[in-house]
Structure formats: C-alpha cells, structure tokens
Structure 1
Amino acid sequence: MEVILIRHTTPKIEKGICYGQSDIEIEDSFEEEFLTIQKQLKNIDDTIAFYSSPLKRCAILAKKLSNNISFDDRLKELNFGDWELKKWDDIDKKTLDIWMNDFVNIAPTNGESYIKMFGRTSEFLEELKEKGIKKAFIITHAGVIRSMHAFVNDIPLKDSFNLKVPYGAIITLNV
C-alpha cells in the first residue's frame, strides 16, 4: 500500500508554544502553501482514500484536496495534556527534563506518551492494510508522520525525530 503523508500548513501560533491536540488556526499564507503542496501531488482523484486528523490545521487542507475525506482521531498530534498552549519556557523545568530524557515512554502531565501515540497510529495503518486500500493520502501532524515512518521502516522511536518534517511536507511510505 502506498501512503502519502502530508503535514498541515503553518499554524497561527507564537513560536515557543507547546501545542499538540489544541485546535489552532492556520496562517494567512495558507493559499500559497496549499498551491505548493498541490503542485507536488500527482494522480489525485475521488477514488483514492483520503484521511485526515480532525484538527482544523489539517481539516482545512484536507477539504481543499478532496471532497471525500474520512476524519480519524488516531491521526491527531500527541496530546500534551496540561502543557497545551503553554510556553515551553513556562513548563516546570524538572518535569520537562524528565520527559525529554524519555519522551518515548513518559507522558507530559495529563497527556499522552509517544509510545501510546505510536500504538494508535500503527493500528490505523494496519487497519488500512486490512481493508485492502492500495493508496491513501493522510493529512496529519509531524509527530504522527514520524511515528508512522518509524513503524514502517522499523526505526526506534527515540530516533524518529531525525526525520525533518516541515509544514506542508509530503512523505511517501510503502506499507
């Protein structure tokens, strides 16, 4: 199965703010970013499966790409719990350091661990495969893309952040 992962466009949020599952707006540069993404995509028609995170920054892009989208909560970014919409500098340093030293297994306060997100995203890919889907476009977030990339390519999760995923990135996986 060919899976084309597309990261959402630039979100409208101040730099240095922790956001994961917060439903934030997109920047005014959306149309320009959309055109860049659209130029890179080939052979899109309504017979191809389209999936998206339901968060606004993905859903807006998904709706511009297709009229036939399935939204799935498993495609949401990591849940940062109590850290959502806080400045990284305002998060308790000791707590943040503990998480940074084992971000795979330790969850942010009242949030979700990366291994838990990995479980939901790999389950999603396995489900697509079981359905016999040949090609799927997935509009989602950097963490989800890294998680799926690690799953498909058998990369340790602690090393998955070596994959750079800028806004509007398109990454193809063969599952």
Structure 2
Amino acid sequence: MKIYAIRHTSVNVKPGICYGQTDVDVAETFHEEQKRLLQDIEQVSFDAVWSSPLLRCRKLAENLFPNEEIQFDTRLKELNFGDWEMLPWDDIYAQPEGKTWMDNYQTLPTKNGESYPEMVARVSACVNEIKKLNAGNIAVVAHAGVIRILKSVIENLPISQLFENFKPAYASVTVFELDKHD
C-alpha cells in the first residue's frame, strides 16, 4: 500500500505567520500549483482519497479529485496552536512561554492548544484506519505537520529528525510505502 501525501498549495497568509488550524484560504497561485500537482499524480490510480477538512486542503482535494468520494477527517488537521494562531512566529518566540515551547515542542502543548504527542496520536489513529482499507494507492491531502508525522509514524523516525531534515513544500507529493515499514 502506498500513501501519496499531498501538501496543500500556498496560502493567503503573510510569510512568518502561525496559522495552524485557522481555516485560511489558498493563495492566488492555487490553479498553477494545482495543475503541477495533477501532472505529478496523473499516472496514479487511487483507491481512496482522504483530506483534512480545512479549506486549503478541502479545495485542493475537490479540485484534484472531482469525481472521487473524499473522506474528510479532522484527524488530518494541522497542529492546533491555540492562542498563537495568526500571530507572527517572531512574536511567539519573543514570549517566554513561546520560547519554552519551541525549546520543548516535542512534549509541551502550545498555549491553550495541542501538543505534538496529541497530534501524533490522532494522525496515527487515522493511519491505522487507512491501513485497514488494504488498498493499493491512497491520496492524503494534508498539512506539512501531518506529513512529517506520517513520515515519523510510517518510517518509525523520531519527530525531532523531521523538522530540520524534512520540509514538505507547498503543493508537493511525498510517497510512503506502508508494506516496507510494517
């Protein structure tokens, strides 16, 4: 079984802003990015399509797979950054609690938000459900954080390795082979 993890396209948010689970829209480059993604996956036949329900993923999933039934799953949402949603990262880091979180992001929750262990648990539960489909190719339209966790869970890698070495670009496809790592 292969999971084709498709990161949403660029968003209509200024660079340097934390947007996590805020339901932001896509950037003006959406159609160009979507066309490139279509070319990347046009030779693949998908048995199922899953997506985060947030607009930036929903819009992409519906445009990439207009004739498919899409399973929108809240477990595929980005990390909930709580009080830090829509704040500049520099402002978050300037706060003592922001710096503490960034130094300990693998274990601590964000301010009135979610922790990575909580996110790992929900994404893992979703992966386990997808595995039960026993299908060939699954498309998952999601966020960079979710794709990093997919890599961590599927390839049994510590999350700490993924933030420096693995940065899924907007409108990119990362392929994971589940059978190789089970």
Q: What TM bracket, shorter-length normalisation?
A: over 0.9
Q: Secondary structure of 1:172's match?
A: strand
1:85 aligns with 86
SS in structure 1 of the partner of residue 59 of structure 2: helix
- CA-CA distance at 1:44 after TM superposition: 4.4
Aligned counterpart, 2:41: 41
Report matched runs for 1:144-163 at 5 Å: 144-161=146-163, 162-163=165-166
Q: Is 1:123 the counterpart of 2:122 in the alignment?
A: no
> What is the alpha-carbon distance in structure 2 between the residues aligned to residue 9 and residue 131 of structure 1?
27
Is 1:165–2:165 an aligned residue pair? no
Once the two structures are TM-superposed, the CA of residue 154 in structure 1 deviates from its matched residue by 0.9
| SS of residue paired to 2:4 | strand
Alignment partners' CA distance in 2, 1:147 and 1:157: 7
Q: Partner residue of 2:73?
A: 72
Q: Corresponding residue for 2:109?
A: 107
Tell me the equivalent position of 1:20: 20
Residues matched between the structures, number: 174
Q: Distance in 2 between matches of 1:152 and 1:88?
A: 29
2:100 counterpart SS class: helix
Output the CA distance in 2 between the equivalents of 1:119 and 1:62. Answer: 24
The residue identity in structure 1 corresponding to 2:142 is: T
Structure 2 counterpart of 1:143, which letter? G
Deviation at 1:16, TM superposition (A): 1.4
TM-score w.r.t. structure 1 length? 0.95
Unpaired runs of at least 5, structure 2: none
Amino acid at match of 1:146: R
Amino acid paired to 1:28? E
Q: Separation in 1 of the partners of 2:135 and 2:121?
A: 20
CA distance in 2, matches of 1:43, 1:123: 29
TM-score by length of 2: 0.91
Post-superposition offset of 1:93: 2.2
Q: Which amino acid aligns with 2:143?
A: H
- For residues 103 and 2 of structure 1, what CA distance do their matches in structure 2 show? 29
The letter for the 2-side match of 1:79 is N
String of CA shifts for 1:117-142, please: whole Å, max 9, x gaps: 11111111111112323321000000
Shift of the alpha carbon at 1:89?
2.4
